[in-house]
């Protein structure tokens, strides 16, 4: 088991994609099964309440993870999810027992999700971190779409889900090691106002999409998932959507993502309000593109901020908590039944709030990105690996280790984790660097770097 865990730690980007894809597949399938709970048992006009009722235990599960951090509890929650999934997959949904199983399962699903998001936040400095999120989410959406429950492929879906459930325990076991290496790093605490701004921006954009969410879900419930189905082909737009916005989230440490998310969300909502509800297919396509942007925004924003807070386990999954809370709030406000004029007024208010707080947070100041680029092109720019390698005769990998040693205060364990190598391999590179440069200490290496610059 330890060898498997060590291998996954070295292949950090691939393992992050795998764990997020596994969790998202489990989440999408369980929530899809949960939507059917009580069908034939609950009155048709009340069936919609099941969807909204599931949001409460999901939120509770995420919150509980921030207070309860115990390996036995983690494995128990995952085991309940596994058992609940199989019961929900094959039992008759028209019963009170199915409803109870759904509630317990989604509660444990939320707790497991909190573990996954926390794990991801501890690895937020991995190269192509945003793309890991995007590829993982895209894979889950693609698999769920292929194995639609209406196509009588339940056994095949069960086999795929079985693999996903087998993956998660490996990361739950490895979590303590990753957390320990992260705790050794010297992070600058994130200001509280940054967290508040991120919460407000996320909530505002999710309220945009919640109008769609309520409207479409109301229509599909009314048509018994026949004429209108949220799992129809427009959902496939989420596959390129989350990959694209995940890629954007890696550019300049995510500086472009807030603006791109805002633009896509505004276009989607203006179409729904100004053009009208009759353009169902177009609304669905824009809805899924905007959801891809918003999901990428809050996933990357909170997982990157979380490790710099006093409650990282809570803030890592804060975006997902706000997502479910926004669904409940929009349902309470009866968004799907409001007139287009009222929705437009609400949307303008939410849009204004998002723009104001993005501006306060510096998300709209794209000139700062250009300034940083110009600074890098000046003669006194930061030393490059090529310059280091040429001066001291280092190998490409040694040059990268040299920069890590001189530009950070991290311990060797943290550097090895970030560079996807074992500690022993890193120490071998460090010893070679000291021999080639003639330096005896890390401080001496830093002086060499300053001299070179």
Cα 22 → chain centroid: 13
Q: How many whole angstroms separate alpha carbon 387 and alpha carbon 451? A: 12
pLDDT for the residue 401: 85
Q: What is the pTM of this model?
A: 0.76
Q: How many whole angstroms separate alpha carbon 78 and alpha carbon 382? A: 46
Could you tell me which of 156, 129, 105 has the C-alpha nearest to residue 19? 129
Q: Which domains does the chain have, with CATH numbers?
A: 1-185 (1.20.1250), 190-377 (1.20.1250), 385-452 (1.10.10.10)
pLDDT for the residue 134: 94
- Print burial letters for 145-180: b (CB count within 10 Å at least 16), e (below 16): bebebeeeeeeebeebbeebbebbebbbbbbebbbe
Q: Would you say 169 and 282 are in contact if contact means Cβ atoms under 8 Å apart? A: no
Q: Would you say 20 and 164 are in contact if contact means Cβ atoms under 8 Å apart? A: no
| DSSP of 35-74 | TTTTBTTB-GGGTHHHHHHTHHHHHHHHHHHHH---HHHH
Q: What is the mean pLDDT for each group of 10 consecutive residues in the chain (453 residues)?
A: 48 84 92 80 74 91 91 91 90 86 94 92 84 93 74 68 86 67 62 91 83 57 57 82 94 88 82 64 81 93 90 92 88 71 77 89 71 45 59 80 80 79 85 82 73 42
pLDDT for the residue 1: 46
Could you tell me which of 294, 298, 305, 303 has the C-alpha nearest to residue 194? 305
Could you tell me which of 204, 151, 165 has the C-alpha nearest to residue 26? 165
3-state secondary structure of 256: coil
């Amino acid at each position: 088991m330890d060898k498997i865990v060590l291998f996954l730690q070295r292949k950090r980007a691939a393992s992050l994609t795998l764990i997020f894809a596994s969790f998202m597949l489990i989440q999408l399938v369980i929530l899809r099964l949960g939507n059917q709970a009580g069908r034939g048992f609950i009155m048709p006009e009340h069936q919609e309440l099941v969807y909204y009722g599931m949001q409460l235990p999901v939120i509770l599960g995420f919150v509980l993870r921030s207070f309860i951090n115990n390996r036995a509890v983690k494995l128990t929650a995952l085991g309940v999810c596994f058992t609940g999934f199989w019961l929900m997959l094959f039992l008759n949904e028209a019963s009170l027992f199915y409803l109870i199983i759904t509630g317990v399962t989604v509660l444990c699903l939320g707790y497991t999700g909190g573990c996954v998001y926390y794990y991801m936040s501890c690895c937020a400095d991995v190269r192509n971190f945003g793309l890991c999120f995007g590829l993982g989410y895209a894979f889950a959406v693609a698999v769920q779409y292929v194995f639609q429950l209406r196509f009588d492929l339940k056994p095949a879906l069960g086999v795929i889900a079985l693999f996903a459930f087998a993956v998660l325990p490996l990361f739950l076991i490895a979590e303590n090691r990753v957390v320990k290496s992260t705790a050794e790093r010297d992070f600058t605490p994130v200001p509280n106002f940054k967290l508040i701004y991120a919460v407000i921006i996320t909530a505002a954009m999710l309220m945009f999409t919640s109008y769609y969410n309520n409207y479409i879900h109301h229509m599909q419930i009314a048509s018994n998932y026949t004429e209108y189905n949220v799992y129809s082909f427009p959902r496939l737009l989420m596959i390129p959507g989350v990959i694209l916005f995940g890629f954007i989230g890696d550019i300049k440490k995510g500086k472009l993502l807030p603006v791109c998310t805002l633009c896509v969300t505004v276009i989607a909502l203006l179409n729904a309000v100004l053009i009208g509800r009759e353009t169902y297919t177009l609304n669905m396509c824009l809805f899924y593109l905007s959801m891809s942007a918003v999901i990428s925004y809050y996933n990357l924003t909170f997982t990157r901020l979380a490790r710099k807070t006093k409650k990282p386990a809570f803030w890592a999954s804060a975006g997902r908590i706000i997502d479910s809370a926004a669904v409940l709030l929009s349902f309470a406000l009866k968004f799907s039944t409001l007139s287009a004029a009222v929705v437009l007024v609400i949307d303008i208010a939410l849009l204004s709030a998002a723009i104001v707080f993005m501006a306060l947070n510096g998300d709209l100041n794209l000139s700062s990105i250009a300034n940083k680029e110009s600074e890098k092109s000046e003669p006194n720019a930061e030393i490059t690996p090529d310059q280091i390698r040429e001066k001291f005769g280092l190998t490409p990998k040694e040059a990268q280790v040299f920069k890590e040693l001189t530009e950070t205060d991290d311990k060797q364990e943290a550097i090895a984790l970030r560079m996807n190598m074992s500690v022993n391999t890193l120490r071998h590179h460090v010893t070679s660097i000291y021999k080639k440069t003639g330096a005896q200490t890390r401080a001496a290496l830093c002086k060499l770097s300053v001299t070179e610059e």
